[in-house]
Structure 1
Amino acid sequence: MTVSAPQASRLPISRLAALACLAAGALALSACATTGAEPAKPDRPASGGANRTLAIGLDASTNPDPFPSTYQPLPRRNAAIVGGTVFTATGLRIENGVVLMADGKVEAVGGTDTAVPAGYEVIDARGRFVTPGVIDIHSHLGVYPSPGVMGMSDGNEATSPNTAQVWAEHSLWPQDPGFNTARAGGVTTLGILPGSANLFGGRGVTIRNVPSITMQGMKFPSAPYTLKMACGENPSRVYGSRNQSPATGMGNVAGYRAAFIAAREYKEKWDKWRDTGEGSPPTRNLQNETLAGVLDGSILIQNHCYRADEMAMMIDIGREFGYKVTTFHHAIEAYKIAPQLAAEGICAAMWTGWWGFKMEALDAIEANAALVDAPEGSCAVIHSDDAELTQRLNQEAAAALAAGRAAGLDIAEEHAVAWFTINAARAIGIADQTGSLEPGKRADVVIWSADPFSIYARADQVFIDGGKAFDRFDPAYQPTSDFELGQPGYGLSAASVSQGAR
């Protein structure tokens, strides 16, 4: 993964060095999971969600989504996971539990009195733990892929403070080996975001972590679009160094306000034309179209913001224009305003151990997530922002849990599992579909070798929509991308590569 100048400023030196290890880790995977079951039915988009976010400036009779999802679930069969310790992410811990998966959905979750229907494959999870799939809401996989070369450094459209018109999915390279290593860490869903060089960085996209040739084949059907915003040092540093605005925090806030004033006027023109039908429709503007989607609530703001005072400022800007931030990302000082975040219904996504790599990242504590979690109605999330850390979000959550307990907070593991499952789903608008083991939700499930809050735990098996996406013991379910297959030792011999084989 290439670390651009705006990215490098947020990573500690140890993390920058660690990124070099990603490619080597990715080469441990092989083969493609396409065996052993009947093909699944296509996952058709539901009404609303991503479709409705694109309706700004468009008549309902036109195609509301020019880049529709073509996602199809992996082959699957009805199955029962039995005997494990189940964390449902709804606060329940079930010893010797049973999780039934049917037609790609969670059918039932319970104890030993839960009957396993005839014909179901039985998966023995005795001595192991079962959780919902891990959800990483802040990822740049595919837009800052491995190998990290300038020709594939596609995460930051650092050409203007406002690039709300760009969409991360148009930079997403599905062959990034990081998707496979993330899946081996239990990650079933990711929020892929543009970088943080801009006041408005562009739209993010939510994806299913399945092998695919195209971006559309990974795109989460009906998931709402998100908008990446950034406050603080990044946008003022990037543009101030070019002798243009913004160069200060004042310039940042003026830039947000000016953009939403323009978007509100744009939306009013379209609303008037829809109401009256008089004359020709206004000319479409992709930048204002995205921001108008924020104003009507269909596009969810994901706001890179470290400091408590700046988060409070962003909340006030939202009040001025009638929208609400959905999630603050990085949120190193979120613990200082935890009650306000809970009262506003705003999630805070954060690391546990990253800090001190720039001024706005100095006032960090490891118990941040635990303290944010404390007020009623809170939404604490553990995220990665990194191709390596995404493989170990359970361990990052474990460190936050330990720090919270050391600070005197009595937090159960069955509660803390929400930090990388259901709370993450809530933070990107998909909690009605995934993030917890509840009947009717997508069967996104991880079977862990040990307690997921143990440093020794590894994902043994990963299911996405009930289809086996990873199996640590079966090479047939350890996918590699076509890019990896083209490297020496992965489908082609070194000799054939040197002789120019294609």
Structure 2
Amino acid sequence: MKRALCALALAAATAACSQGQARPASTPASQAAPQSPADPFPSTYRPFPSQPTLIRGGTVMTAAGQIIPNGQVLMVDGRIAAVGQTVQAPANAVVVDATGKWVTPGVIDTHSHLGVYASPGVQAHSDGNEATSPNTAEVWAEHSIWPHDPGFTRALEGGITSMQILPGSANLFGGRSVTIKNVPSRTAQGMKFPGAPYGLKMACGENPKRVYGERGGPSTRMGNVAGFRNAWIRAADYRRRYDEWNSNGRNASSMPARDLELETLAGVLRGEILVHNHCYRGDEMAQMIDISREFGYRIRSFHHGVEAYKVRDLMARDSISGSLWADWWGFKMEALDFTRANLAMVHQAGARAIVHSDDPTGIQKLNQEAAKAIQAGREAGIEVSENDALRWITANAAWALGIHEQVGTLEPGKQADVVIWSHNPFSVYARADRVYIDGALMFDRLDPSRQPRTDFEVGLFPAEASND
């Protein structure tokens, strides 16, 4: 009966089926996160209902430098209200005993394709690559997201509270990415992280030349670079024409013709859209940095970066983060020259190291991926503290996505995205016991009523199933 009611509630317009989980709280328009008037697809995300909650007794890892044994975290109105050895909680606060457990910020994945390459992995769900042109900067990943991908709930069970959904890497310019909160919703806009900047997915190396080598190019790495530069030249001219129109009074009769591709690239040149660059080889990363300097934009993060260790000083110099794997390599030529100490070496150089997934299974265990990178660094003689490694999957990832002022650390005033772990999060035995997003309990490993399921997982109504 519960199963049928859950599916019926979703069909009647709930955010998603969650076996007893409350609906998002209704927020007056005046309190909603401000949206840019230029965004035609604004976030409709509303935090789920929460109540004042005091987590006490666990080892609190803030990702801001402090590790507090037998610490306390107070969440009020969806925010971190206090963190410390002892905090003052309101009388009506729910008290959660975390004795023997660990408490951290929510885990953030900078590179996911959940929703755009949804499960089951069939051709009908292959919506991550608009592989029709080397430059598809006009497409937006959010328009391909299927919110009922079961991968979202599996990621939640691994402590993932936010993630960036990217287009694939077949194109030089793959399109806009979107950052989402990992909550049940009917629509992608209902998951969209309010105020998070868009990203632009770019890809250099083997993928674009392989995909377009027989479709008119580019077919070489030099062709890739020429494609990037030609696009930025056109984008710079587009930006100039719009800037002149704005400064001259925005007369409707003289408004330049809109171009969705160039709007995205101009947004990068204005610093409004963050560049996330798929790139494996160190020499190509250096070239991409040169291109960014030629046209006056900044690269926010190199993704995959199997050879990031070779240019770690350049990344640190230009404040470019590395969204990297712990030990995924060797599957193509540009992914061969790898060291398991890659993350640790990038960290040691002073660049922001990040553990990312690019995989629907890997996203479920980013904490364990970080643990592997800690050990690899130590074997190479690079000491990495657990606080620093925690930042690889929290604070640094938040910075790469431009949401570091809202999430990523356990500090007063930040959004209460919190995970309670059964063991030290870098232990192979660690499992997320509880996951809070904006202070709302979204997952409880020991309470089936707090284990959300998508409508796809719920299946048919019992009456319909019996008629088959």
2:311 match: 337
Matched, 1:424 2:397: yes
2:430 match: 457
1:205 is matched with which residue: 174, 178, 192?
A: 178
| 1:11-50 map, 5 Å | 31-35=18-22, 39=25, 41=27, 46-47=33-34
1:102 match: 76
1:121 match: 94
Identity across the alignment (%): 59
1:388 match: 361
| 1:323-362 map, 5 Å | 323-362=297-336
* Matched AA of 1:73: P
Secondary structure (helix, strand or coil) at the match of 1:203 reads: strand
Counterpart contact for 1:34–1:74, Cα < 8 Å: no
1:93 match: 67
Matched, 1:158 2:131: yes
TM-superposed deviation, 1:492:
3.4
TM-superposed deviation, 1:499:
2.3
1:84-109 Cα shifts (integer Å, max 9, x gaps): 00110112111001001000000111
TM-superposed deviation, 1:410:
1.6
Question: C-alpha distance in 1, partners of 2:278/2:20?
Answer: 36
Question: C-alpha distance in 1, partners of 2:32/2:205?
Answer: 37
Secondary structure (helix, strand or coil) at the match of 2:145 reads: coil
Compared CA separation, residues 158 and 456, structure 1 to 2 (3 A) = same
Question: C-alpha distance in 1, partners of 2:196/2:125?
Answer: 26
Matched, 1:240 2:213: yes
TM-superposed deviation, 1:347:
0.4
1:213-244 Cα shifts (integer Å, max 9, x gaps): 111110111000000000000001100033x1
Could you list the runs of 4 or more consecutive aligned residues of structure 1 that deviate by over 2 angstroms after TM superposition?
Answer: 30-35, 37-47, 113-117, 496-500
Secondary structure (helix, strand or coil) at the match of 2:201 reads: strand
Secondary structure (helix, strand or coil) at the match of 1:409 reads: coil
* Matched AA of 2:66: L
TM-superposed deviation, 1:65:
1.3
Matched, 1:478 2:456: no
Question: C-alpha distance in 2, partners of 1:84/1:311?
Answer: 42
- Of 400-409 and 162-171, deviating more is 400-409
Query: Tell me, which stretches of 5 or more residues in structure 1 are unaligned?
Result: 1-29, 52-62
1:251-296 Cα shifts (integer Å, max 9, x gaps): 0000000001001101111111111235420010000000000000
Secondary structure (helix, strand or coil) at the match of 1:238 reads: helix
Counterpart contact for 1:40–1:76, Cα < 8 Å: no
1:492 is matched with which residue: 426, 440, 462?
A: 462
Counterpart contact for 1:42–1:73, Cα < 8 Å: no
Counterpart contact for 1:45–1:222, Cα < 8 Å: no
Matched, 1:294 2:268: yes
Question: C-alpha distance in 1, partners of 2:148/2:258?
Answer: 33
Question: C-alpha distance in 2, partners of 1:384/1:289?
Answer: 29
Counterpart contact for 1:42–1:71, Cα < 8 Å: no
* Matched AA of 1:75: P
Counterpart contact for 1:395–1:453, Cα < 8 Å: yes
Compared CA separation, residues 33 and 452, structure 1 to 2 (3 A) = farther
Query: Tell me, which stretches of 5 or more residues in structure 2 are unaligned?
Result: 1-16
TM-superposed deviation, 1:110:
0.5
2:234 match: 262
Question: C-alpha distance in 2, partners of 1:221/1:293?
Answer: 18
Counterpart contact for 1:136–1:187, Cα < 8 Å: yes
2:107 match: 134
Counterpart contact for 2:24–2:46, Cα < 8 Å: no
TM-superposed deviation, 1:412:
1.3
TM-superposed deviation, 1:392:
0.2
- Of 276-285 and 342-351, deviating more is 276-285
Question: C-alpha distance in 1, partners of 2:20/2:258?
Answer: 43
* Matched AA of 1:133: G
1:156-201 Cα shifts (integer Å, max 9, x gaps): 0000000000000000000100000000000000100000000000
Secondary structure (helix, strand or coil) at the match of 2:254 reads: coil
* Matched AA of 1:245: G
TM-score by length of 2: 0.93
TM-superposed deviation, 1:31:
4.2
1:191 match: 164
Compared CA separation, residues 196 and 34, structure 1 to 2 (3 A) = same
1:442 match: 415
